C-alpha cells in the first residue's frame, strides 16, 4: 500500500463532455480557476487540456495553452502543471479511400504534438504511448514518433508522464528508456478501462505493474462509475491517483461533480485508508522534479 499519495486532477480533457455537464471548464480563465480550486482541495498536480472557447470542443491552439498556463502560474497557488502532449494523433479512415483520413481525423507530426511543451516548459507533460483503438478513432503513435517526442520533451527539461493503456505500451516505454530518451525514475500513468485498452480489473492492473521497469513511479485511474473506487485500488497496490472531470462527471449517482469535489472525495478516501495526500513540494521530491523559476510564487521548470 502507498501511504504517501500524489493526487492529480485532470481538469477538462478532450471529450464531448461539455454537452453532458455545463460545469466542465472551457476557457483558459475557467480551466485556470478550476485548477486553483483543485489545488486548494488537495491536488498536487493538475493535468491540462484546452478547449475552443467558442465551441467547447478540444483544441490544439498553442495560445490557449500559453494563456492557461500563465493564469495558473500567476494565481499564487502552488501546483504542479502537467500539460497533455497527446493531441493530434487521431485517425479515422475515409469510407471512400481508407488510406486517407476521413471525418474525425486529427493528425499532426510528432514535432507539432510537443510544440506547446517546448514553449511553455511545464514541470510535467504526457508522453502517450500507442497505437491503439479508441471507441471511434485509432490513436497513432509509432515508435519513431515516440522517439522524436521523447527526445524533444527531454531536451526541454520536462519530466514525461508516460501514459500507457495496455501492456505493449509499457514495452515501448522501456525501449525508449533503454535508448536513453527517458531519464531515470520514469513516471507512469496506468490508464485503465479506456475503450479499447486494458480493461479496469485488478488482474490486468497487476500484470501492468509487473511489466513496469525497476524504479518506476506510477499512478493509475479509470473512468466513469469506477472512478472513485479505483482510487482505493491504486493506493492498495502502491500507486498514486488521478481524479477529475476528464475521466468522470459525477460525484454521486446522478449528481454532477466539480473538480474540487472529486479531489476532496479522493483525499477523504486517502485519509480513511490511513494514508496522506502529498503537497506539490513533497510530490516534486518523489518525482525528482527540480524547479528553476518562480512566477507569482509558483515554481515551474
Quote the number of domains for the chain: 1
Query: pLDDT digits over 210-264, tens only?
Result: 999 999 999 999 999 999 999 999 999 999 999 999 999 999 999 999 999 999 9
Q: Give helix 28-41 / helix 259-272 axis angle, nearest 10°.
A: 20
Q: Span 194-199, mean pLDDT?
A: 94
Instruction: Tell me the C-alpha distance between 267 and 264, whole Å.
Output: 5
CATH number of the domain enclosing 213: 3.20.20.70
Average pLDDT of the chain? 94
Q: Note the pLDDT of residue 130.
A: 82
> What is the per-residue DSSP string for 200-255?
S-HHHHHHHHHHSPTT-EEEEE--GGGTTHHHHHHHHTT-EEEESTTT--EEETTE
Q: Note the pLDDT of residue 68.
A: 98
- CA distances (Å), origin 51, targets 15, 30, 297: 10, 10, 26
C-alpha cell at 194: 479506456
pLDDT(180) > 90: yes
Q: Note the pLDDT of residue 291.
A: 65
Query: pLDDT digits over 91-121, tens only?
Result: 999 999 999 999 999 999 999 999 999 999 9
Q: Is the separation of the CB atoms in 8 and 39 below 8 Å?
A: no
pLDDT(275) > 50: yes
Query: pLDDT digits over 18-74, tens only?
Result: 999 999 999 999 999 999 999 999 999 999 999 999 999 999 999 999 999 999 999
> What is the per-residue DSSP string for 110-141?
HHHHTHHHHHH--SEEEEE---EE-SSSEE--
Domain that holds residue 177: 4-300
pLDDT(294) > 60: no
Query: pLDDT digits over 129-142, tens only?
Result: 989 998 889 999 99
- CA distances (Å), origin 193, targets 8, 21, 261, 273, 287: 18, 21, 22, 24, 25
Q: Span 284-296, mean pLDDT?
A: 74
CA 162 and chain centroid, separation: 9
Q: Note the pLDDT of residue 297.
A: 46
pLDDT(300) > 60: no
Q: Which residues of 168-190 are buried (b: 16+ CB within 10 A; e: fewer)?
A: bbbebbbebbeeebbeeebbbbb
Confidence of residue 292 (pLDDT cuts 50, 70, 90): low
Q: Note the pLDDT of residue 135.
A: 85
Indicate if the alpha-carbon torsion angle 180, 183, 186, 187 is positive or negative: negative
pLDDT(299) > 90: no
Instruction: Tell me the C-alpha distance between 241 and 205, whole Å.
Output: 13
Q: Span 175-195, mean pLDDT?
A: 96
What is the DSSP pairing of strand 132-133 with strand 138-139?
Answer: antiparallel
First to last CA, the chain: 31
Element (H, E) at 162: strand 159-164
Instruction: Tell me the C-alpha distance between 283 and 270, whole Å.
Output: 15
C-alpha cell at 218: 506510477
Q: Note the pLDDT of residue 293.
A: 52
Confidence of residue 295 (pLDDT cuts 50, 70, 90): very low
Which of 288, 272, 259 minimizes the C-alpha distance to 10? 259
Amino acid at each position: 500500500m502507498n501511504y504517501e499519495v500524489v493526487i492529480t486532477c485532470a481538469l477538462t480533457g478532450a471529450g464531448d463532455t461539455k454537452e453532458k455537464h455545463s460545469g466542465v471548464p472551457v476557457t483558459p480563465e475557467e480551466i485556470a480557476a478550476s485548477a486553483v480550486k483543485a489545488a486548494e482541495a488537495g491536488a498536487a498536480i493538475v493535468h491540462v487540456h484546452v478547449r475552443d472557447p467558442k465551441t467547447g470542443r478540444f483544441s490544439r491552439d498553442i495560445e490557449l495553452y500559453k494563456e492557461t498556463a500563465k493564469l495558473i502560474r500567476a494565481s499564487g497557488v502552488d501546483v504542479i502543471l502537467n500539460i497533455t502532449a497527446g493531441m493530434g494523433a487521431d485517425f479515422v479512415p475515409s469510407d471512400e479511400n481508407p488510406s486517407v483520413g476521413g471525418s474525425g481525423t486529427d493528425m499532426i507530426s510528432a514535432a507539432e504534438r510537443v510544440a506547446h511543451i517546448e514553449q511553455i516548459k511545464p514541470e510535467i507533460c504526457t508522453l502517450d504511448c500507442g497505437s491503439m483503438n479508441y471507441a471511434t478513432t485509432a490513436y497513432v503513435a509509432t515508435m519513431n514518433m515516440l522517439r522524436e517526442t521523447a527526445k524533444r520533451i527531454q531536451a526541454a527539461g520536462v519530466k514525461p508522464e508516460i501514459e500507457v493503456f495496455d501492456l505493449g505500451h509499457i514495452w515501448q516505454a522501456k525501449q525508449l528508456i533503454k535508448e536513453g530518451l527517458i531519464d531515470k525514475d520514469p513516471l507512469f500513468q496506468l490508464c485503465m478501462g479506456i475503450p479499447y485498452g486494458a480493461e479496469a480489473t485488478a488482474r490486468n492492473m497487476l500484470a501492468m505493474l509487473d511489466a513496469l521497469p525497476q524504479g518506476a513511479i506510477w499512478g493509475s485511474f479509470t473512468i466513469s462509475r469506477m472512478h472513485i473506487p479505483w482510487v482505493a485500488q491504486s493506493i492498495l497496490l502502491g500507486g498514486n491517483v488521478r481524479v477529475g472531470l476528464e475521466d468522470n462527471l459525477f460525484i454521486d449517482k446522478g449528481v454532477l461533480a466539480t473538480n474540487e469535489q472529486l479531489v476532496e472525495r479522493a483525499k477523504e478516501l486517502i485519509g480513511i485508508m490511513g494514508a496522506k495526500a502529498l503537497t506539490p513540494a513533497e510530490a516534486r521530491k518523489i518525482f525528482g522534479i527540480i524547479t528553476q523559476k518562480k512566477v507569482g510564487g509558483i515554481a515551474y521548470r
